[in-house]
Amino acid sequence: MSDHESTYVPKTGVEKWLDTRLPIIRFGADYMSLPTPRNLNYWWTFGGILAICLMTQIITGIVLAMHYTPHVDLAFASVERIMRDVNGGWLIRYVHANGASMFFIAVYLHMLRGLYYGSYKAPREMIWIIGCVIFFLMIATAFLGYVLPWGQMSFWGAEVITNLIGAIPGVGEPILIWLRGGPAIDNATLNRFFSLHYLLPFAILGCVVLHLWALHAAGQNNPVGILIPKDRAKKDLLPFHPYFTVKDGFAIILFLILFAIFVFYQPNALGHADNYIPANPLQTPAHIVPEWYMLPFYAILRAIPDKFGGVVAMFAAIGVLFVLPWLDTSKVRSMRYRPTMRTFFIIFLVVGVGLGWCGGQLPDSPVIGSFKTFTLFDGDLNSYLWLTRLFTAYYFAFFFIIMPLVGLKETPLPIPATISEPVLTGADAAEQKG
Amino acid sequence: MTIGMKTVSIKTIIASAAVAVGLMAAAPALASGGAAHPRSGGFSFDGPFGTYDQGQLQRGYKVYHEVCAACHSMNLMHYRNLGDAHGPFWNPKYPNPNDNPVVKALAKEIQIADIDSETGEAIQRDGTPADKFRNPYPNATAAAAGNGGAAPPDLSVMAKARHGGADYIYSLLSGYKDAPAGVTIRDGQHYNPYMAGDLTPFWTGDPKHVPPGGFIAMPPPLQNGQVTYDDGSPQTVDQYAKDVAAFIAWTSEPKMVERKQAGFGVIIFLLIFAGITYASYRRIWKGVAH
Amino acid sequence: MAESVVHTESPEGGDPNRRDFIHIAAGAAAVGAGAMIAWPLINQMNPAADTLALASIEFDLTKVQEGQQVVIKWQGKPVFVRYRTPAELQRVIADDHAPDLKEPQTDAERTKPGHEKYLVVVGSCTHLGCVPTFGAGDYGGWFCPCHGSHYDASGRIRKGPAPLNLVVPNYDYLSDTRVKIG
């Protein structure tokens, strides 16, 4: 696929003139005719969905910035003015606010697809690593954006998360003051967060271009996970357009229906009521939680009894993704042919969701019933604290122990020689129906 | 055999995702603490097609104006908003609410603190539709000082700022009760089973059965017959609470009706679009094994 | 058999170049969706409800001295309220049919009956929007310092690049001494 030759032939004089000077039409045409494995299933449509999410966030964000005022006295009211007085402002703001959640739903499914089908393995490590950078930038952007409405959750979220930096021994405190622009979260912080929230999406956009470039170079993975031999290219590959534009388009519309249900009928369901209370630096809400998409990492943070240790664990939970290609020792990409690994993967899914759930609970409250069992070190065994620790242990074990060991010990199922083979046996169809 | 296992794996993934969504939805509910679950106000705006009841909004404004506005600000509201589409005094004859005579008259009843544009001195003048709802206190410090240290919260977006929304406001306002025996009430506080809080430190009874609710600084604000309705609605605390909760739901989300109506159109369009695209997809992939 | 299943290009649907009805419909729906999305993004830049709410102001004419003007802000622009002397009034009425008027108007058309001594005009030069200077210029009205337009005391353009007279806003007398602009 990397040696995909250009089939674009400029037709008109203008096209010929442009093609020798700036071959931008050729670039687009080559992307549209990119040979793509024919067996890609709907899990592969999240790339296109994510492109739509990013564009939605950038466009609605630019529009919101026309009306938003980044000042501690005016920010809350300016957001509510958008909701009330700006023409269609309620729609634009709800799309932007819910768009963040939609973006994370799509990116998590996109990443899990990559994990399941081994899309991070050679020769696609760079696609995966750039993707991890994008994910990290997304978390940063979402956090900065959540501060802007200057509600109670905005303020206290910013307080708690910036304090993580303060946990770094020695240099933490000066960095913290530098980051906030003062001894506490205040107007200076809000202004710089607004500036960075506007900047980072364009950094994401740049990374997306690199992500696609790397994809173009290494070629798409596929559910079977094998590289497509050159002599099979004609039979196993289809041009991206129209086959995958229409398939992605259909998936995007289904995704937009989900998006629309939230925007028009449950616009505040994914947010927190406390963020409709203006920020008050003198009073913390009773129970502060981050947005749902940060909960698993927040849970890992709280699982570690040491402040700095918690921060390290939380960043390690994201950082481990960067080295994933070298932790997996298996030669087989797709977990379709790795039944043992698939079982561990399903447990990983449950653990990930469980971490998210734990992140929303008070650590001391009991998991089952309302009774106490016995105290282990610093907490009762029947508490979210210990459940979170159990899940956190599995999260790291999955990457550092299970992945390297299973790859060496397991016996994979026989792998088809071509991606057409499962098409004929019907295995592929069965999976898609299931 | 391979086929069977694959089928299971995808099903499991989908099931896990469903569980995930379920748990996410459940999480805030579990986290909300020891307050009693709000009673439903049976509001006309509940559900995907619900709209505001204009009569109820007018009564709610009256209750707000005569009772709540004595202590609570509503800084995000302007008198002109009363004449906005789907608002309490919306009249299609006046698409610009600033021209609506009812709105003008209501604004004129209010004295607004202002600065004389020539002399620069503080004056009181008649309100106009463009004015914000009058704030009973000149600033937050005065509001706190006038209420035993706890400033009455702004009510503009109250229905979005509390779990349970309008139902919560209705339940709270109509749900004041004498504190259960065994609860030690702090000075200047009142017991309300719907108030968020934890009574454990103030409870002398069985620690396993701490009563629900918490303390609230606001004394019971409504009494039967306090506000006169001219449309024959019952002049009871329950009705007042319902009406003012509906009014606050409207001030919190004044574009709700537009939102639901637009959403209906958008989702119908997307369903048709999805159908057409699916047909196009089937046509393009016809005869292509994949 | 293997090859026939994998092979594409069936006459009805496999040909990607075939443009039949369903593809046109899908494309049209996509264009429609784009237009639906574009509208709110464009419309949000129109004046918001709070801006529109401040469309009118009231002004007390007793605050203007004879021979002077007061500048007030209306919709973000200056409005000149000028109390003209009898001599100024006489001069502008005499010029009602002067040949150098670019936009011929009588002074009576630019004031309210019974209140001719008061002139209310938007203080933006009709050339490129600068604020003309009071009492300057060749005609005793205003002179625009940006590009040299001369207005008379009725706000009519007499000389210079401006194409039109100073605009008279919509206003009404609420009483003998009080006007409502807008």
Same domain, yes or no, for A158 and A78?
yes
Chain A: partners with 3+ C-beta pairs within 8 Å: B, C
Identify whether the C-beta of residue C147 lies closer than 8 Å to the C-beta of residue C127: yes
Identify whether the C-beta of residue A330 lies closer than 8 Å to the C-beta of residue A341: yes
pLDDT band for C52, please (50, 70, 90 cuts). Answer: confident
Which tokens hold the place of B210?
A: 């701490």
The beta-carbon neighbor of A336 closest among B6, B48, B264 is: B6
Answer yes or no: is pLDDT of B243 > 90. Answer: yes
- CA distance linking residue A384 with residue A202, whole number of Å: 38
Any idea what the CATH number is for the domain that residue A406 is in? 1.10.287
- Run of H or E residues at C26: helix C21-43
What is the DSSP annotation of C76-134? Answer: TEEEEEEE--HHHHHHHHHGGG-TT-SS---GGGGS-TT-TTEEEEE-S-TTT---PEE
Same domain, yes or no, for A354 and A213?
no
- Whether A434 is covered by a domain: the verdict is no
What is the DSSP annotation of A363-389? Answer: TTS-SSTT----EETTEESSSHHHHHH
User: What confidence score (pLDDT) does residue B12 get?
Assistant: 53
- CA distance linking residue A117 with residue A46, whole number of Å: 14
Note whether C22 contacts A: Cβ–Cβ < 8 A: no
Inspect the interface and report whether the beta carbons of B96 and C8 lie closer than 8 Å: no
User: What confidence score (pLDDT) does residue A425 get?
Assistant: 60
Inspect the interface and report whether the beta carbons of A423 and C5 lie closer than 8 Å: yes
Angle of the B237-252 helix axis to the B165-174 helix axis, nearest 10:
150
List Cβ<8 Å contacts ≥24 apart for A262-267. A262/A98, A262/A101, A262/A102, A263/A91, A263/A94, A263/A95, A263/A98, A263/B263, A264/A94, A264/B259, A264/B260, A264/B262, A264/B263, A264/B264, A264/B266, A264/B267, A265/B48, A265/B260, A265/B263, A267/A94, A267/A97, A267/A98, A267/B259
State the CB neighbour count (10 A cutoff) for residue C65. Answer: 9
Average confidence (pLDDT) over A259-266: 97
Note whether B290 contacts C: Cβ–Cβ < 8 A: no
Is C97 a catalytic site residue?
no
Same domain, yes or no, for A82 and A225?
yes
Query: Which region among A141-145, A212-216, A389-393, B114-118 has the lowest average model confidence (pLDDT)?
Result: B114-118
User: What confidence score (pLDDT) does residue C3 get?
Assistant: 37
The beta-carbon neighbor of B276 closest among C5, C22, C36 is: C22
Closest-CA residue to C119 (of C66, C157, C163, C161): C66
Residue B164 pairs in a beta bridge with none
Mutate which of A94, A253, A256, A343 to disrupt the B interface (most B C-beta within 10 Å)?
A253
pLDDT in tens, A348-357: 999 999 999 9
User: What confidence score (pLDDT) does residue B54 get?
Assistant: 97
Inspect the interface and report whether the beta carbons of B276 and C10 lie closer than 8 Å: no
Same domain, yes or no, for A272 and A343?
no
Answer yes or no: is pLDDT of B4 > 70. Answer: no
Average confidence (pLDDT) over B72-97: 95
- CA distance linking residue A282 with residue B192, whole number of Å: 24
Go through chain B and tell me how many residues it has.
290
Nearby residues of B92 by Cβ (< 8 Å), 6 or more positions away = none
Residue C133 pairs in a beta bridge with C143
**CB contacts, 8 Å: B78 with chain C:** 50, 53
* Percent residues over pLDDT 90 in chain C: 71
Note whether B104 contacts C: Cβ–Cβ < 8 A: no
**CB contacts, 8 Å: B263 with chain C:** none
pLDDT band for B7, please (50, 70, 90 cuts). Answer: very low
Note whether C41 contacts A: Cβ–Cβ < 8 A: yes
Chain B closest CA to A169's CA: distance in Å? 33
Angstrom CA distances, C30 to A246, A249, A253, C23, stand at 11, 9, 10, 11
Report residue A328 CA to chain centroid gap: 21
User: What confidence score (pLDDT) does residue B86 get?
Assistant: 95
Query: Which region among A127-131, B5-9, B242-246, C107-111 has the lowest average model confidence (pLDDT)?
Result: B5-9
* Percent residues over pLDDT 90 in chain A: 82
User: What confidence score (pLDDT) does residue B18 get?
Assistant: 56
Identify whether the C-beta of residue A126 lies closer than 8 Å to the C-beta of residue A134: no
Answer yes or no: is pLDDT of B3 > 50. Answer: no
Same domain, yes or no, for A203 and A311?
no
- Whether A362 is covered by a domain: the verdict is yes
Mutate which of A74, A85, A245, A247 to disrupt the C interface (most C C-beta within 10 Å)?
A85
The two counts, helices (H) then strands (E), for chain C are 4, 10
Identify whether the C-beta of residue C68 lies closer than 8 Å to the C-beta of residue C117: no
The beta-carbon neighbor of A420 closest among C6, C8, C26 is: C6
Start-to-end CA span in chain A (Å) = 30
pLDDT band for B196, please (50, 70, 90 cuts). Answer: confident
Answer yes or no: is pLDDT of B11 > 70. Answer: no
Same domain, yes or no, for A353 and A263?
no
- Whether A421 is covered by a domain: the verdict is no
Same domain, yes or no, for A155 and A304?
no
User: What confidence score (pLDDT) does residue A422 get?
Assistant: 66
Same domain, yes or no, for A271 and A354?
no
Average pLDDT, chain C: 87
**CB contacts, 8 Å: A257 with chain B:** 267, 270-271, 274
Which tokens hold the place of C11?
A: 């006459």
Could you give the number of structural domains in chain A?
2
Tell me which residues of chain C, numbers 50 to 69, contact chain A at a CB-CB cutoff of 8 Å: 50-51
* Percent residues over pLDDT 70 in chain A: 96
Domain that residue A86 falls in: 42-288
Cβ pairs A/B, distance under 8 A: 149
Answer yes or no: is pLDDT of A93 > 50. Answer: yes
Inspect the interface and report whether the beta carbons of A357 and B23 lie closer than 8 Å: yes
Nearby residues of C22 by Cβ (< 8 Å), 6 or more positions away = B276, B279, B280, B283
Place of tokens 């129109």: C46
User: What confidence score (pLDDT) does residue B171 get?
Assistant: 97
User: What confidence score (pLDDT) does residue A213 get?
Assistant: 94
User: What confidence score (pLDDT) does residue A378 get?
Assistant: 84
- Whether A124 is covered by a domain: the verdict is yes
Mutate which of C23, C46, C58 to disrupt the B interface (most B C-beta within 10 Å)?
C23
Identify whether the C-beta of residue A204 lies closer than 8 Å to the C-beta of residue A134: yes
Same domain, yes or no, for A63 and A96?
yes
Nearby residues of B203 by Cβ (< 8 Å), 6 or more positions away = B182, B183, B184, B210, B211
Identify whether the C-beta of residue A108 lies closer than 8 Å to the C-beta of residue A49: no
Alpha-helix runs per DSSP H in A117-186: 125-147, 152-166, 172-180
- Whether A241 is covered by a domain: the verdict is yes
- Whether A35 is covered by a domain: the verdict is no
- CA distance linking residue A177 with residue A185, whole number of Å: 9
Answer yes or no: is pLDDT of C122 > 50. Answer: yes
- The DSSP output letter for C72 is E
- Whether A361 is covered by a domain: the verdict is yes
Identify whether the C-beta of residue A54 lies closer than 8 Å to the C-beta of residue A205: yes
Task: Using CA coordinates, name the residue in chain A closest to C2.
Answer: A424
Same domain, yes or no, for A231 and A219?
yes
- The DSSP output letter for A403 is H
Which tokens hold the place of A179?
A: 């980051």
Chain B closest CA to C81's CA: distance in Å? 15
- CA distance linking residue A236 with residue A247, whole number of Å: 17
- Whether A31 is covered by a domain: the verdict is no
Inspect the interface and report whether the beta carbons of B281 and A247 lie closer than 8 Å: yes
Place of tokens 């906030």: A180
**CB contacts, 8 Å: C30 with chain B:** 273
Torsion angle, alpha carbons of B151, B152, B154, B160, to 10: 120
pLDDT in tens, A324-341: 999 999 999 999 999 999
Can you tell me whether residue C43 is helix, strand or coil?
helix
**CB contacts, 8 Å: B279 with chain C:** 22, 26
Identify whether the C-beta of residue A251 lies closer than 8 Å to the C-beta of residue A49: yes
Residue C134 pairs in a beta bridge with C142
Inspect the interface and report whether the beta carbons of B7 and A433 lie closer than 8 Å: yes
Chain A closest CA to C47's CA: distance in Å? 8
pLDDT band for A160, please (50, 70, 90 cuts). Answer: very high
Chain A closest CA to C44's CA: distance in Å? 5
The two counts, helices (H) then strands (E), for chain A are 19, 4
Same domain, yes or no, for A203 and A347?
no
pLDDT in tens, C33-43: 999 999 999 99
pLDDT band for B199, please (50, 70, 90 cuts). Answer: confident
A93 versus B12: the higher-pLDDT residue is A93
Residue B113 pairs in a beta bridge with B124
pLDDT band for B240, please (50, 70, 90 cuts). Answer: very high
List Cβ<8 Å contacts ≥24 apart for A414-417. A414/A337, A415/A224, A415/A225, A415/A226, A415/A332, A415/A337, A416/A224, A416/A226, A417/A226
* Percent residues over pLDDT 90 in chain B: 64
Note whether C2 contacts A: Cβ–Cβ < 8 A: yes
Chain C closest CA to B283's CA: distance in Å? 5
pLDDT in tens, A267-319: 999 999 999 999 999 999 988 899 999 999 999 999 999 999 999 999 999 99
Any idea what the CATH number is for the domain that residue A85 is in? 1.20.810.10
Answer yes or no: is pLDDT of B16 > 70. Answer: no
Report residue A201 CA to chain centroid gap: 13
Answer yes or no: is pLDDT of A3 > 70. Answer: no
State the CB neighbour count (10 A cutoff) for residue A369. Answer: 7
Average pLDDT, chain B: 87
Cβ burial of B215 (10 Å; 0-12, 13-18, 19+) is middle
- CA distance linking residue A157 with residue A104, whole number of Å: 18
Q: pTM of the full predicted structure?
A: 0.90
Average pLDDT, chain A: 93
Note whether B283 contacts C: Cβ–Cβ < 8 A: yes
Which of residues A258, A288, A318 is at a domain's end? A288
Answer yes or no: is pLDDT of A69 > 60. Answer: yes
Task: Using CA coordinates, name the residue in chain A closest to B208.
Answer: A370
User: What confidence score (pLDDT) does residue A264 get?
Assistant: 98
Same domain, yes or no, for A71 and A185?
yes
- CA distance linking residue B225 with residue B227, whole number of Å: 6
A231-270 per-residue burial string, b: 16 or more CB within 10 A, e: under 16:
ebeebbbbbbbbbbbbbbbbbbbbbbbebbbbbbeebbeb
Inspect the interface and report whether the beta carbons of B283 and C23 lie closer than 8 Å: yes
Peptide bond into A242 cis (omega under 30): yes
Chain B closest CA to C50's CA: distance in Å? 7
